[in-house]
Structure 1
């Protein structure tokens, strides 16, 4: 997949998530693209609830890379969108704790680069309790 296609998929997923969150009553503000941290910030009307969302967009059901250090993950909620540029994308809504709990990691001793990496396998995030579970966000 080329970079432009990957960026378009990520943008489609982020805007789809923002649209869904707005429809559910959240005030949603996208952050600067490619910045570290949350892709979206959401607040209720009186700003008594504010949370960050990490959006991951995929063209198909595939693993989601999380990087080498789980301590660098900051967003309260994660929305993984598959088929992001299709007519009917599917979103999986997970808390940060759930992402950390269900992720897989490589053994640095067995890695070609000698470093640890973390990722979410599709079978881990593609679960009924996460699928289009917008109600989890309040």
Structure 2
């Protein structure tokens, strides 16, 4: 339910900022949301949503090249009355990722790397 709450919170935030938003089917490959500006622009952006109930690292899998969505929105406190969103590009996610030393060598986006003022509620970055 946390993932769903995150997707619908992001859709709500985008809708109130003038975007048409379409969520995809859960666990589908690719983006979690597609959004297009209401003002008639033909550009559609793909968004990966990651929702967390508390401040924690975001799992990214074992291969950063498999990450596809151009925009990533991480929502913290998604089950609270005041969720906070962090908006990053795919390039920023890849650049800020760290790797496990364990046998799986999975990648993670540590909270200290996304919980920054330049990403916090930075909806203006989406283009």
- TM-score by length of structure 1 reads 0.87
Mapping of 1:1-138 within 5 angstroms? 8-45=1-38, 46-107=40-101, 111=102, 114-138=103-127
Residue-pair matches, total: 126
| Helix, strand or coil at the partner of 1:18 | helix
Unaligned runs of 5+ in 1: 1-7
Gaps of 5+ in 2: none
Aligned to 1:4: none
Task: Name the counterpart of 1:5.
Answer: none
How many angstroms does 1:22 deviate by?
A: 0.7
Distance 2:53 2:104 in 1: 27
Which segments of structure 1 move beyond 3 Å, counting only runs of 4 or more? none
Which one has a bigger Cα radius of gyration?
1
> What is the Cα deviation at residue 47 of structure 1?
4.5
SS in structure 2 of the partner of residue 48 of structure 1: coil
